[in-house]
Amino acid sequence: MAMVSLAPDTASSSAKVRAATDAPAALICRNLWKIYGANAEAFLRENPMPTHAEVRAAGLFAAVRDASLEIRQGEIFIIMGLSGSGKSTLVRCLSRLVEPTGGSVFYEHQNLLRMSPAELIQVRRHKMGMVFQNFALLPHRTVLGNVAFPLEVQGMPKEEREARALKMIDLVGLTERAGYYPRELSGGQQQRVGIARSLAVEPALWFLDEPFSALDPLIRHEMQNEFLRLQRMLSKTIVFITHDFDEAIRLGDRIAIMKDGAVIQVGTAEELVLNPASDYVSAFTRHVARAKVLTAGGVSVPVTPGEALGATVPARALVAEVAEVVLTSNLPAAVVDKNGMVIGKLERANVIANLVGGVP
């Protein structure tokens, strides 16, 4: 937190990475398929791994193809893809808003796909929250009524649920507006209501479906900061959908990139930038501000024994954070791991190449 004044976004993102790497998986999906069309289930049973051509030949359409993911407790997991890539369908399969055609979804060691409707209602009432792209606020209810809605559905007494809802409204800074109706609020405020509502049941698993896409760029940035602030307080397990790679980098611990219904790569932003699995991935990463993604450790080069090194920078720090130190020094900087061991060096040329976005 000491670095907040210098670069708040990057400081928080390094905090996230620490939280997530060794946590156990909370939500797991294996070989998930969603195929639309007549008799899709029978088709998938006969062809467990159909190709694009086979699906098309059967007159069907595969929105999600063989997706396997492990989402860790407390991490922000981003599912990123262009429109039509199947990201929305995938997240709806994870919450069973859409019934998957094949595969399995495990949450806390229970297969969601085997649950009865009644069990599913209980899981959704107590374990899941979801934020929608177009807010999905109920027009006939006030802010308070909207936020208290999930609690009302559970049958919580009025006083209790309103007290809890007010706490959530306070959390997103809308206490003054609790009596307003959604149409009396700006887009950003409406989505704050959506966020407060999704948190009202204190879910462990938080789905956000392109929550900031419908907002102006300026508001979007503000809301992203707000989101990170909330996550630092709450440490939910988050599945976050976006089509905006910059947003994915800013918010995500790990990112899954989807194309034509399939997950083509999962990794941290740095892994995606340094080792793109395909041309499709590198097309996204090419225009990224690399200095804000790559860490000193990731781009360091081996030290020649006996070489004179200047300042010391931590391996986990982003290139952008250490740029000033490296550039103002005549000597290469020493990159040290968390135990203080020198694991490499960072030269000026190295930093400059990443700052201007070229390929090193």
Partner 1 sequence: MSEVALPREEAHPRRFPVGWMVAALVALAVLLPYAAPGMFGWAKSYPATWIVPISDWLKAFLYWLARDATFGLFTFKDMTRFVSGLFGHALDVPKALLSTGITLGDEDGAFHIPRLSWAGLIAAVTIWSYLLGGARLALLGFVGFGYILVFGQWDSAMVTLSQVIVAVLSGVVGGILIGILAYRVPRIEGAVVAALDFMQTVPTFAYLVPLVFLVGVGPVSGMLATILYAMPPMVRVTLMALKRVPPELDELARMTGCEPRQALWKVLVPSARDDLLVGVNQVIMLTLNMIIIAAMIGAGGLGFDVLNALRQANGLGKGLEAGLAVVALAIVLDRMSRALVEMRPVHGPAAQRRRQLFWLGLVVLIGFTALSFVVPALEKLPNEYRISTGNMWSDVVSWVNINMFATTDAIRTFLLLYLLVPVKTFLIGFPWLGLVAVVGGGAYALGGWRFALGMMALIAFIPVAGLWERGMTTIYLCSISVVIATLIGLPLGLLGSRSERMHAFLGAMCDTLQTLPSFVYLLPVVMLFRIGDVSALVAIVLYAMVPAIRFTDHGLRRVPPSLQEAGTMAGCTGTQRLTKVELPYALPEIMLGVNQVIMMALSMLVVSSFVGTNDLGKQIQVAISQADPGKGLSAGLAIAFLGILADRMIGRFVAARRQRMGL
Residues that bind partner 1 (CB under 8 A): 92, 95, 97, 120-126, 128-130, 132-136, 138-142, 149-150, 152-154, 179-181, 183-184, 201, 207
Q: How far is the CB of 76 from partner 1 (least distance, A)?
A: 19
CB closer to partner 1, 137 vs 266: 137
Beta bridge mates, 275: none
Q: Which amino acid is at 289?
A: A
- 176 or 279: CB nearest partner 1: 176
Instruction: Give the shortest CB-178-to-partner 1 separation in angstroms.
Output: 9
Give exposure, 118-157, as e/b (b: 16+ Cβ within 10 Å). Answer: eeeeebbeeebbbbbbebebeeebbbbbbbbbbbbeeebe
**Residue 193 C-beta: closest distance to partner 1, Å:** 12
Instruction: Report, in Å, the least distance between residue 122 CB and partner 1.
Output: 7
Q: Is the CB of 239 or the CB of 319 nearer to partner 1?
A: 239
The distance of closest approach from Cβ of residue 72 to partner 1 in the complex, given in angstroms and rounded to an integer, is 22
| Residue type, position 136, single letter | A
Beta carbon nearer to partner 1, 14 or 142: 142
- Shortest Cβ distance from residue 98 to partner 1 (Å)? 9
